[in-house]
Structures are given as C-alpha cells and as structure tokens.
Structure 1
Amino acid sequence: MYRKVFNNKVFDRKVVLVSGGCAGIGRALSVRMAQAGARLVLLDLDQAALDSMVQHLDAHHNAEALGLRCDVADAEAVQRAVTLAIERFGGIDVLVNNAGITHRSTFVETDLAVFQRIMAVNFFGALHCTQAALPSLVARQGQIIVLSSLSGFAPLLYRSAYNASKHALHGLFETLRYEIRGSGVNVMLVCPGFTATDLRKNALVGDGSVTRQPPLAMGKVASPQDVAEAIYQGALRRRRLLVLSNVDWRARLLARFFPRLFERVLLPRLSGLKPAAPR
C-alpha cells in the first residue's frame, strides 16, 4: 500500500501516546505517526523492546520518543507514566488505547483469574489511560483511538473473556463520546479483523498459562502496517467507527439480524473451526 508520508501536517509535532507500542498494530501505528512528524510516548511491559523502539524511531524517522515501562492494568503506574509524558512534551494530543491480550479456552475451562487479567488489561487498561490523559486531551482538543475488534459486535468461540472486554470498551467509549461532545475531543473505535500480530501466538489458556498450540487458521490475515495505515487515515478524518475486517458487513449483518445463520455458517469459520454439517 502506498503511503503518503509527507503530504499532511495534521500530526506534525503532536504528542501521541500508544499503549502496547512495541509490537503488532501498536508498533506499526507508532512508526506511521512518526513518519507524519509526531512525537511518541510508548507504554509497554518490555523495557528492552522499548529501548529498541525508541532508538529505531530516532535513527530511522528522526522522531522524538519516550519509552516507559508500564502495566496499563495498574492505575497508579499509568498516572505516573502520563505525568512523565506531559512533563516531557507538554501534553498529549492523541491517545491510542492499543494494549491487549487474549485467550483460547471454553468458558467452563477458564479460571476466574484469566477473566480478571483480560479485563484488567483490555478494559481497565484503556480506562486508566483515558482517565489520566483526558484533561490534557480536552485542553488540546485531541483524539482518543480505541483498538476494539471484530468480536466487539460478532462473538468468537473460546474467547468469552476477550469478547466481553471488547463489548465493554464499546459501552465505555460510546458513552464517553456522548458525555464529552462539544469538548473538541474525538473518540474513534477501531475494529480490525484478524491481523498478523503476536496476540494470538501469546494467547492464554484456561489455567492462565500461554498456549503451546499454533494459532487457529483464520483465512485472510491483514498486516499490522496496513491496519495502521487505515487507522492513521481514519484519525486524519476524525472518524467515530472504523471497521476493517474483510468480513465486516457479513458478520455485523448476520450476527445482528440473523443470529442463527451467523452461528451456523460464519461463527465456526471466524473461530477457526470447520462449519457444521447441514442438518
């Protein structure tokens, strides 16, 4: 995909904070924003990956970047990180709530601790980052970008905790969008389809350990770079909802209006299973 790197100055010198900024979509979007002239604040758990990413952004994109080790599930750690970011750069213009984890296990086989950890990262992590950054975002009439999923409107088998966390994100940020209307802050929910990241490779199983099984076959998988480009273009237009899955219209239509057909035809394929035989 051709990327028009230098023709738009919307994000030039803007401060963009990305949670989970060292891998997958978060890394690709950080690079894309750096190409557009943004200054980056990256939150991640891996200090070595942060150091490497900051060096990469400086060496290859001449971009200022601050890498902060932070577990977004820890509200106090998030507040400290946001405070450091504002002290360094003066404020935050764009918040990208990208950090997330998933699992692959049936509901009955999934420990409560797995549900709690997934909600802590996927839902409360986004909540913590948004609460901490919102005053600055309002002052600068910025933008909140939330990485949801296809499963935000169409469930996937063996991912009950993950599905629940994405539905919760929609409830939270659609409400927030309404409550802060008139503030100048845009809220964009992004629903990618299956993307070639380490998310599925590092999926938890029911007891909380990382799966040793290869990722399930999902059909066509997007690249993080193409997803990042679509998010970047959506951010330029201050979109409210961005659905990127190659099965978006079918999943949304069938799940909402024809749930039995969705369960029989599309759900097994989206979940990496063979469709049930006709009865």
Structure 2
Amino acid sequence: MDREQKFALVTGCGAGGIGEALVTEYARASIHAIATVLPNESSDHLVKAGITFFTLDVTSDQSILDLKGKVQKLTGGYVDVLVNCAGIAYTMTAIDTDVVAVQRMFDVNVFGPMRMVRTFHDMVIQAKGSIVNIGSIGGIIPFIYGSSYNASKAALHHWGNTLRVEMAPFGVKVITVCHVYTLG
C-alpha cells in the first residue's frame, strides 16, 4: 500500500540550528515533520511554525522509548526519514581535554544516534525509508582544538558507513551529511 503522508523525525531542533531548518523544509515539502527538543529547551519557534514536536534526550533510553510510543501513535508505525541531528561540540587543546566533557559529547553525538536507530529501525524499515546522520567535515579533516569533536564525528561517520551496508537489504538508505562547523 502506498501511503500518502510521509513522516520525518528530526532530533536536535533547537532554535536557529540545523534541525530547525530541516523540519521547516520538510514541512514546506508537505512531509509531516516531527521535531524534538530537550526537555528544558524552548519550543516557541516550533509552535510558531506549526511543527509537531516532542521532548527528547538522546542520552536516555527511557526518553527515546517514550518518544517512540508517541511517534507510533502519530504515524501508524512509519518513519520515512530519521535525522540524527542532536549534537554538541567541545573544543579544547588535545592536551587539556576534560575527559568527562568528551564522554558527554560522545554520548550525544555517537551513542545518541545509535540509540535512536536501535529503537526506531523497525519503523524506518517498515517505510523503506532513510536514516540521515549529521556529521561534520571535522570527522574527515581535523581542525585545531577540535580533536575530541573530530573524533566523535569520525566515529559517527564510520558507524554510519557500516549501518549503510547492514540496512541496504531492508531497502533503507543511510546518509551522512558533512557540515562545516564554524567557531563563533
């Protein structure tokens, strides 16, 4: 059966970021955009744009499971596009790195997408959809003071490359977008 309505679930849709821009464009293209924001984050920009949103912490299995229940109810069990956009940056000289801060960044930038795919893969497979990971040029070409951030994005890129091969037999595309990270 060919479904008329397509659904795009995008993590990390805070005001002024890549996620917000993506859900705005999906909505403009008549794709039902589902945005996520952190529980303590403003959603005024999404309300104003009329975009469906839910709270989500990609570092919490329970938060992701709660989101899945809401998305299943909304979509009937389909996610055509899952965009792993939630991310944080940490810039510091490699020798002065705060390992706890880097662990937190990896938890969001790498393990967050892993959790999302583990939880939502059945809905993406059902739709024969796509998984999009927002990477960074820093995962390919290192920039100074970004060793830890670069490492998190390199890990995401390589995980996504393997995921692409593993999901192909299910008719699911996996894409990594390399954005340019700018300081300031």
Q: Deviations over 1:186-228 (max 9, x none)?
A: 1111001246xxxx4xxxxxxxxxxxxxx2xxxxxxxxxxxxx
Is the aligned partner of 1:55 residue 2:47?
Answer: yes
**After TM superposition, which residue ranges in structure 1, 4 or more long, deviate above 6 angstroms?**
none
**Unaligned segments of structure 1, at least 5 residues:** 1-10, 59-64, 201-214, 216-279
Q: Deviations over 1:152-205 (max 9, x none)?
A: 21011111211111111111111111112121111111001246xxxx4xxxxx
The one-letter code of the counterpart of 1:101 is I
| Pairwise CA distance, 1:45 | 1.1
Could you say which residue in structure 2 is the equivalent of 1:175?
162
Please tell me the root mean square deviation across aligned C-alpha atoms, in Å.
1.8
Q: Quote the Cα distance in structure 2 between the aligned partners of 1:159 and 1:48.
A: 26
Matches of residues 118-157 of structure 1 in structure 2 within 5 Å? 118-157=105-144
Q: Quote the Cα distance in structure 1 between the aligned partners of 2:153 and 2:159.
A: 10
Contact 1:92 1:142 in 2 (8 A): yes
| Pairwise CA distance, 1:81 | 0.8
Q: Quote the Cα distance in structure 2 between the aligned partners of 1:66 and 1:103.
A: 30
Task: Choose from 125, 149, 156 the match for 1:162.
Answer: 149
* TM-score normalized with structure 2 length: 0.90
| Higher fraction of strand | 2
Task: Choose from 6, 16, 19 the match for 1:14.
Answer: 6
Tell me the percent identity: 32
Is the aligned partner of 1:89 residue 2:89?
Answer: no
Contact 1:66 1:85 in 2 (8 A): no
* TM-score normalized with structure 1 length: 0.61
Matches of residues 1-279 of structure 1 in structure 2 within 5 Å? 13-23=5-15, 24-46=17-39, 49-50=42-43, 52-58=44-50, 65-90=51-76, 91-194=78-181, 200=183, 215=184
Paired residues in the alignment total 180
Q: Quote the Cα distance in structure 1 between the aligned partners of 2:66 and 2:109.
A: 19
| Structure 1 pair 167–39 and aligned structure 2 pair: CA distance change class (3 A) | same
Q: Quote the Cα distance in structure 2 between the aligned partners of 1:72 and 1:132.
A: 11
Aligned-partner SS, 2:168: coil
Contact 1:70 1:77 in 2 (8 A): yes
Structure number with bigger Rg: 1
Q: Quote the Cα distance in structure 1 between the aligned partners of 2:171 and 2:34.
A: 22
